[in-house]
Amino acid sequence: MTGGRAYRGERCMGGQLVYTPDGDLLDKHLHVLRRAPGGFDWGPEADEARVDQLAIALLADSSTKNIALDHYKEFAEYLRKELEGEEWRLPSSDISADTWSQDIDVADETPSPEDVDITAVDLDEMTFAVERALCEKHDINIHQSVDDRREALEDARQEVRSEPTNSEDSATDTGGFEFPAASQ
């Protein structure tokens, strides 16, 4: 890795610091997705959520939020394998290029909005792919904070649960009395 614009990382007494090619501290991009508010990490032994947060931040900073959301898991695996030691340097071209892509068919892993039922999902245990599908189905902004997004999903769940079913729509309380067919 020589020359050119690059991101840099270093472990120090204050934690793991990551710098942009301009020399500024890299924003964690928690507004994109909050996996590890405490910071970043890298390497084979690193905490998964912290590697995910580094992947999100690098992708969002160098490309777009949508790319970060769609590909952070795959990019995190690349970071786990490629970045080792106390310091590293990652050229911008390695982030924007497909050098880290393993051609995973994300479509097979992501359910469609029609395939998810908000009443059957545990909101605390769902995968991010399921969460995105639910947000799309119920017109909830995926790019808001996790707490706001979960509150909106819970509101959507309550709304779905309170909607009458077809049998409830047609049933009227007649006290068991059946009306005779209208005669001419």
Q: What is the pLDDT of residues 52-62, one digit of tens each?
A: 999 999 999 98
Instruction: Find out whether 76 and 43 touch, Cβ atoms under 8 Å.
Output: no
Terminus-to-terminus CA distance in the chain, angstroms?
91
Q: What is the rounded average pLDDT of the residues 141-168? A: 79
Q: Which two tokens stand for residue 174?
A: 């007649």
Q: What is the pLDDT of residues 120-132, one digit of tens each?
A: 888 777 766 777 7
Question: pLDDT category, 105, cuts 50, 70, 90?
Answer: very low
pLDDT of residue 153 exceeding 60, the answer is yes
DSSP state of 77: H
Question: pLDDT category, 1, cuts 50, 70, 90?
Answer: very low
Q: Which two tokens stand for residue 72?
A: 């952070």
Using CA atoms, how far residue 96 sits from 63, 75, 90, in Å, is: 7, 11, 11
SS3 59: helix
* Sheet of strand 6-12, all strands in order from the earlier edge strand to the far edge: 15-19, 6-12, 87-91
Q: Any idea where the domains of the chain sit in the sequence?
A: 6-93, 106-162
For the entire predicted model, the pTM comes to: 0.56
Nearest to residue 67, comparing CAs of 41, 43, 44, 100? 100
Instruction: Find out whether 35 and 53 touch, Cβ atoms under 8 Å.
Output: yes
Q: Which two tokens stand for residue 62?
A: 């160098």
Find where tokens 């029609």 sit: 114
